[in-house]
Amino acid sequence: MYKTSFRYLNLLFFTLLVLLTFSFFLPYLFPGDLISNMSGVTPATDAQRDALERSLKLDQSIFHQFGQYLKNIYEGEWGVNKVTFLSINSEVREFLPATIELVFYALVLAIFVGIPIGVLSGIKHHGIFDFTTVSFSIAGYSFPVFWLAMIFITVFCLQLGWLPTSGRIDLLYDIPTKTGFIMIDIALSDVDYKSQAYQNAISHLILPTLSVSIVTMAIFIRFVRRSMMDVMTKEYIVAAKSRGFSTAQIVFKHGLKNSLIPILPILALQVSTLITNVMIVETIFSWPGIGKWLIEAIYQQNYPAIRIGMLVVSVLVLVMTISIEFLTRLLDPNRENVEHATV
């Protein structure tokens, strides 16, 4: 147990170091002035430039620079956004929660809808239900997420007029940012229209969540179904059947756990696809998250923001991936090597 934890901490540390090193060298690769690429401040005078150089240790060896960079990252001195003149740290703290919120809802929806469907379809495979879900699942992960989002907007916003197209909440509701998670912020705020604000926030949430979730859900359904089919033919299941247990008993006692554990590594593999989709959906629904922020940074050639944004998003993905793998290991210590997708 300790050994496993240690191994995963080691893995996390090592990969973090690789990412940090990579992001450290990025400003050297970006076009333009090195100092403003690093700090986000365009020095106006020579004195200012010298001072900046000294504070970034550019006058010393590359190792000192790297050390200073690590120190700055650790202390939250992430530089200044070239366009808004705000500190990048405060911006990330504002936008990252919105992304995490969307990822969370999408994952919850994908898990709680995708897994039961996959299980049912795996038990009664080759039936009508199975055929429908398999078709849905293949179609689901063939949808380019941006097109799906646009179909949703056309149908639910423009034709039916049921749901809004953009943002996390109607801008007219002035909810102060405290945690960055809108649902929590509404609860913490002292506005006297909380229930309306909640209704409004939920109506904004539905379409982005659905767009991100459907692709992930489709993949879950497919893998759960396959895994369930494999498990249900195993000898211990046959043995249980012959002892006269009902299908429901068998599924809940043996089937579920054994078929869901192999799903976890696939979940881990899906995290990076999920984040890519979230970033695209954010730009379409103007969801004020880190993905939209990062894509706008690219349009504005805002290099300090790109550097930090890249680091933050990949750390988010990394932490999610490694914790899922760690969880898999805890649930099933016998697995020698965590396998990723299988044929």
- Which residues 152-181 are close enough to bind other proteins by CB under 8 A? 153-154, 157-158, 161, 163-167, 170-178
The only residue of 9, 62, 150, 248 in contact with other proteins, by rule CB under 8 A = 150
Considering only residues 63 through 82, tell me which ones interact with other proteins, judged by CB under 8 A: 80
129 or 245: CB nearest other proteins? 129
| Residue 323 in contact with other proteins, rule: CB under 8 A | no
42 binds other proteins (CB under 8 A): no
147 forms part of the interface with other proteins (CB under 8 A): yes
334 binds other proteins (CB under 8 A): no
Residues near 335 by Cβ (< 8 Å), separated by ≥ 6? Answer: 328, 329
C-alpha dist (Å) from residue 176 to 179, 188, 253: 9, 9, 47
Pick 191 or 331: Cβ nearer other proteins: 191
**Subset of 179-218 contacting other proteins (CB under 8 A):** 189-193, 196
Task: Candidates 106, 205, 263, 313: give the one binding other proteins (CB under 8 A).
Answer: 313
Smaller CB separation from other proteins, 247 or 338: 338
Query: Within positions 263 to 292, which residues make up the interface with other proteins, using CB under 8 A?
Result: 269, 271-273, 275-276, 279-280, 283, 286, 288, 291-292
119 near other proteins (CB under 8 A) = no
* 228 is a site residue for other proteins (CB under 8 A): no
Q: Does 310 bind other proteins (CB under 8 A)?
A: yes
Q: Which of residues 19-38 bind other proteins (CB under 8 A)?
A: 19, 26, 29-31
Q: Is residue 221 a contact residue for other proteins (CB under 8 A)?
A: no
